Amino acid sequence: MGFLKYALRKLGLMVVTLAIIASATFFLVNAVPGNPIAARTLRMPETVKAELYAKYGFDKPLWPRYVITMRGLLRGDFGMSAVYEGDTVPNIIASKLPVSARLGLQQMLVGVTLGILLGVVSALKNGRAADFAIIALAAFAVSIPQLVFSLLLQKFFAGAKTGLPIIGWSGFKSTILPTIAGAFVYTSFYARLMKSSILDVIGQEYIMTAESKGISGFRVVTRHVLRNAFVPIITYLPMTVAMCVTGSFFVESVFTIPGLGYYYVKSVQQRDLSMVMGLTVFIAALLLAVVFVTDILYKLVDPRIRLERAGKR
């Protein structure tokens, strides 16, 4: 069956890509001279130092370490963190991913919805003052560095009087400010996308046919235009979801949120190899999986395949 073969082939390709990514990460991280545990060995007796190096595999040269690491990966074992005793990739993901994902999705919900709404208005008022105002506003919202915006939000909402906690992550209220801080990065993009998509659809012939049939303007917009205009949005949504789920460093840092974004950047800074590799592979796998699923979905709804199957009967 053509479709099954297609899916399996794509899956195989995905695995190969992940393997290459893992290898590339390994070599990249090791390309920086020095290692994360060297600084701890300053006053250690030689024997203890040797034990420490052996514990994290730094006593072996590069290639044997590579082989060991890749073998471990096949078993699903990324090893232990060299910085935080006892941390493993699975338990870090289990504890931090839900936090980042929730924050990311909330931000997306607010930002994308706002963007779509603005895009619709902008399309309907194309070329007029409102259109320019919206574009300018959206562009401005995306121009403020997230860090500065987060700090300003904190400053503005500090104090018990507003009831909004300015750091931490427990209870719905504490998610409000971080959500606002990160929502607007999506607004401009989706507004623009929605607007051009609507204008695109409006220009197309079957809409003009609908109009000529006498269907009223409002119904034209709601029934035909929107439904078709959403298609490009759907194309981009899965990728946006995948990318936002992994967290944003600045928002998490300023609001002290125990998310993946902050931890990942810290791991890279500290060159904690196991964690960097594990998290990179995880994030890459997530993105690739999303691409894969999208591909499959589109293949499923692709008229050419359906016709093909119809023809075979």
Instruction: Indicate the residue among 69 and 280 with the shorter CB distance to another protein.
Output: 280
The minimum distance between CB 47 and another protein, in angstroms, equals 5
Instruction: Indicate the residue among 117 and 258 with the shorter CB distance to another protein.
Output: 258
Of 233, 241, 234, the closest CA to residue 290 belongs to 241
Give me the DSSP letters along 169-188: --STHHHHHHHHHHHHHHHH
State the burial class of residue 299 (Cβ atoms within 10 Å of its Cβ: 0-12, 13-18, 19+): middle
Instruction: Indicate the residue among 127 and 214 with the shorter CB distance to another protein.
Output: 127
Instruction: Indicate the residue among 98 and 117 with the shorter CB distance to another protein.
Output: 98
Instruction: Indicate the residue among 301 and 310 with the shorter CB distance to another protein.
Output: 301
The minimum distance between CB 2 and another protein, in angstroms, equals 18
The minimum distance between CB 73 and another protein, in angstroms, equals 15
Contacts of 76 (CB under 8 A, 6+ apart): none
The minimum distance between CB 234 and another protein, in angstroms, equals 5
Relative orientation angle of helices 226-245 and 89-124, to the nearest 10 degrees: 150
Token code pair at residue 49: 């130092």
Name residue, tokens 């005793």.
Answer: 85
Beta bridge partners of 80: 88
The minimum distance between CB 30 and another protein, in angstroms, equals 10
